Amino acid sequence: MMGTLSQKVAIVTGAGRGIGRAIALKLASEGARVVVNDLDAELVDNVIAEIAAAGGEAVACAGSVVEGGFAERIVGKAMTRWGDWHIIVNNAGYTWDNVIHKMSDEQFDAMLDVHLKAPFRILRAAAEPLRANARAEAAENRRVVRKVINISSIAGTMGNAGQSNYASAKSGVIGLTKTLAQEWGRYGVTVNCVAFGLIHTRLTQPLGTSQSSVSIDGREVALGIPETTLAAARAVIPLGRGGTPEEAAGSVYLFCLPESDYITGQVLVCGGGFG
C-alpha cells in the first residue's frame, strides 16, 4: 500500500478499539506496516483483518503492556518481521478514578505502571535496535527519521479532580517525552506527545449506555461518565463537542508526517480548543 508512510514500521499499543484502533488504521491506510497490540487477542485479529482487507500489512502482539518482558516482545515483533521500527505510539491505558483520601496504593501504582512505566520500558527496549540501525545508516550516509508519539491527557497538563493517579502518570509522560527528545535527537528521532481532551470512547461513554465495567489486568474497572459531567465538559470546549477516535488519530498522524521532521519535544493538545 502506497502513502505518506509507505514502508514505515509502526508499533501501536492499545490498538484493539477506540483511539488506538483508529491510529493503527490511519497509519496503515498511509502505507505503514503495523504491530497491533491489545489485551484482547480477538480484537487484535479484527484490526489486522481490517488492515489486510484494505491492502495493508500488520502483525499481532496481544498482551498487557505491564507484563514483564512485554516491551522486548513487541519491539522484537517489529524487528523479526521487518528488521526495523520507524514509529512508536504509546497509547495503551485506562482510568481508575478516586479522590485522594479514598485512593489506594494499588490504584495509584496501576496508573503509573500502564501509562508511564510501560512506555518507558518499550522505549528502552527500542533503544538498542535504534542505535544499531542509526550507526549503519550514518556509515552509509543515509538519513532516516523515526517518530515516537506518547499519549498524554489534559489531565496531565492541567490536573483533574478524582484523577491524582492518572494525572500524575500522564504528567510524567510529558517529562519522558521531553527527555527522550533530547537523548534521541542525535539518532534522528523526533519524540512528541499528544494530550487528549474529551474523546468519545467506551471510557467516556455516558453511564448506563453500554457495559458498566471491564476486567483489565485482573481488576474490574468502571466504565462511563455521568451525563451531567459530560455536559459540563462540552460546555467549556470551544468547539462544543467531544472528539471522535478518528480525529484523535489525526493528531497523532500529524507527528508521523515528514512535514513534522523538525518538530520534537512538543506537547500537542487535541481538545477542541480546551486545555
Contact call for residues 245 and 200 (beta carbons, < 8 A): yes
CA of 47: how far to CAs of 7, 22, 43, 137, 151, in Å?
19, 9, 6, 32, 20
Q: Give the residue from 158, 164, 148 showing the smallest Cα distance to 195.
A: 158
Q: Which residues contact 48 (CB under 8 A, 6 or more apart)?
A: 36, 58, 59, 60
Q: How far apart are CA 156 and CA 159, in angstroms?
A: 6
Strand partners, 150: 90, 193
- Look up 187 and say whether it is catalytic: no
Query: Residue written as cell 538498542?
Result: 128
Sheet holding 267-270, edge to edge: 58-60, 33-36, 9-12, 87-90, 146-153, 189-196, 267-270
Query: How does strand 219-222 pair with strand 213-216?
Result: antiparallel
Please pick, among 166, 187, 253, 262, the residue that the annotation labels catalytic. 166
Region for 265 from its dihedrals, namely left if φ exceeds 0, alpha if ψ lies in -120 to 50, beta otherwise: left
> Which positions are catalytic?
166
